Structure 1
Amino acid sequence: MKSEPPTSAARLEGFVGPVRGSEPERFSPARSAAATALLEEAADLLVVHLDFGAALQTCDLACRNLAKYSPAEEPAGTFLEVKCSLCIVGIQALAEMDRWQEALSWVLQYYQAPEKLPPKILELCILLYSKMQEPKTILDVVRTWLQDLDNQGLPEYKALAELYLQHVLLPLGCLSEAEELMVGSAVFTEEQQLDALQLISVARQHHTQKHSGSEEVQKLSQEDASSKTFLSLLLLLRRLWDFTVRHFSSLPFKKSLLTALILCFLVLRFDRAPPFPLPFLCRLAQIFHRLREVMISHFWFL
């Protein structure tokens, strides 16, 4: 069993300190160094020691402590960069432990809202859930992120929109939404929009062919079932006729014929929904019906 390496007091030193009231404490360079140290430790546990559980715990510890402080005076965006890197390591640890289903919810607990997710984390989540053939899980989150006005001004917006189109919308068959995304966004050039619309058109044709193919297979299976029912009915008629010939050959001819006719009518009445391609069998039933009426009327006069 792997023993979890203890976190040194020096690495937590930057996180220790009283919080004045409910106001979050500012993010000092000492805390930045402590967070970076925890990030390095988590990455080392993930890549070198392959201790994925310990790596996830280290990321949790660092993210919880970062949530106590305000990034108002962070040095050159270190606060956001460290937090994003910790979440990326945590997602990779969850994937290695086959707990990839928890990745999205685990990240959202530290960013609260989908539109606040960094582009790098969102890109990793799209690729992860697409690879695991669960793109529907990320659908609403990415849609909310792309609709946010602040995110539309980011340089990563176009790449994420293309990734969303290829790995989420097209596999899920959300073709109308894909068209609205490409045509309604000003970040794409006319050439890029035409290329995307061509991909959407190909996907729509494939979807239509697949749908029509499934209907054709269902129709063929129904016809095959009808043919099997027809053959079974013919086989049953033959067996009943053989039975009638063997057991009633000693009776008078009229009674034998009447018994055979009655058995045939019983077989025809037994199947309430016979297959439609039985014209000659229906004609045979009409002939048997007329013969039965003639014979019954003849018996009445005897």
Structure 2
Amino acid sequence: MKSDSASPAAALGLWGPVRSSEPARAAPAAAAAAALLEDAADLLVVHLDFRAALRTCERAWRSLAGDQAAAYVLGSAPFRSAGSSLEVKGSLCVVGIQALAEMNRWREVLSWVLQYYQVPEKLPPKVLELCVLLYSKMQEPGAVLEVVSAWLQDPDNQGLPEYRALAELHLQRVLLPLGYLSEAEELVVGSAAFSEEERLDVLQDIRKAKQQQKHQHLGSEEAQKLNQEGSFSHKFLSLMMLFRRLWDSIVSHFFSMPFKKSLLAALILCLLVVRFDPASPSSLPFLYKLAQLFHRIQEGMFSLYRLPVHD
């Protein structure tokens, strides 16, 4: 396969010779796994066959798991070569991570590693560091948030020499980019890995980040409020335009009606609005005068057509 310099593994600088120093007196399964590790490293670095390198790592892992299960069944000491086996396991994970990254399958790295170590607290520091660097480089640090937090909280890991480096890496590459400032402050205050001077510097950076986050939050609230006001104004203007068009339509329709129909519509509107009762005695004079007014208007209009024509 062709190696891409822009791949996640190359960008992280994961390339490098991975060799095992397994002693000859180790258990047969561990020795076989160490030999497979050599083959996987050659396939990865020399032949650039990333898929074959990953398969070789998985075969070595199955060999180690079968040897440990057989040791438990036979009642023998399963950890007679525990140090060398752990070293081989960690090296196999490093090769597997590089192979997955080169095949652009970096999203599978964390689940692939955890299927062999079962719990995050048992991950080797070097393997966990590579996972943090990889997901941070690919701008998805949230994927390793819970795993690294669980590893840092484990009492057995807090005495390791790599603990401080991983705590600082988790702070700079995961918590701060995600905006988890309270969690970052708790980590710095509650961890003995930081000196007093380092703790004060980190807490000052966290306070600055909190102020910046607060200003951004206030700015977003003001922008949202302005957007809501603008939306309300736009809706109000649209409603007023709709009412104006409706009124113009009613007025134009009213004035387009004939004169007699207009008067009749006005009479009906008057009866509906004022609610005159035609049967009421008090309404009779009004209706009589209104009828006379109609007759006078009608006679006036027709008299225009009956004027004598002079030669």
Structure 2: distance between partners of 1:185 and 1:200: 15
Of the candidates 3, 15, 33, which is equivalent to residue 35 of structure 1?
33
Structure 1 letter corresponding to 2:56: T
Q: Work out whether residues 182 and 196 of structure 1, in 8 Å CA contact, stay in contact via their aligned partners in 2.
A: yes
**Residues 1-302 of structure 1 mapped to structure 2, 5 A cutoff:** 28=26, 34-67=32-65, 68-69=67-68, 70-73=78-81, 77-249=83-255, 250=257, 251=259, 252=262, 255=265, 296-297=273-274, 302=286
Give the structure-1-normalised TM-score. Answer: 0.71
Greater Rg by CA = 2
**Cα distance between partner residues in 1 of 2:48 and 2:134:** 19
Q: For 1:151, what is the secondary structure of its paired residue? A: coil
C-alpha separation between the residues in 2 aligned to 1:224 and 1:62?
Answer: 64
Q: Tell me if the contact between 1:175 and 1:200 (Cα under 8 Å) persists in the aligned partners.
A: yes
Q: 1:253 to 1:199 in 2, by over 3 A?
A: farther
Flag structure 2 segments of 5+ consecutive residues without an equivalent.
3-21, 69-77, 278-282, 287-311
Structure 2 CA distance, aligned partners of 1:188 and 1:140?
21
The structural deviation recorded for 1:151 is 1.1
How far residue 134 of structure 1 moved from its aligned partner, in angstroms, is 2.6
**Secondary structure of 1:50's aligned partner:** coil
Structure-2 change in CA distance of 1:29 and 1:297 (3 Å): closer
CA distance in 2 between counterparts of 1:197 and 1:66 reads: 44
Answer yes or no: is the 8 Å Cα contact 2:120–2:151 preserved in 1: yes
Larger relative contact order (Cα-Cα within 8 Å, sequence gap ≥ 6): 2
Decide whether the 8 Å contact of 1:27 with 1:71 is kept in 2. no
**Segments of 4+ in structure 1 off by > 6 A?**
256-259
* C-alpha distance 40-237 of structure 1, shift in aligned 2 (>3 A): same
Distance 1:206 1:134 in 2: 22
Q: For the residues of structure 2 that align with 1:189 and 1:118, how far apart are their CA atoms?
A: 24
1:237–1:46 distance in 2 versus 1, CA, 3 Å:
same
Contiguous gaps of at least 5 residues in structure 1: 3-13, 15-25, 260-291
Q: Residues 162, 243 of structure 1: CA spacing in aligned structure 2 closer, same or farther, 3 A cutoff?
A: same
Aligned length: 245
Q: Deviations over 1:37-82 (max 9, x none)?
A: 32222122222322211110011111221232444236xx433222
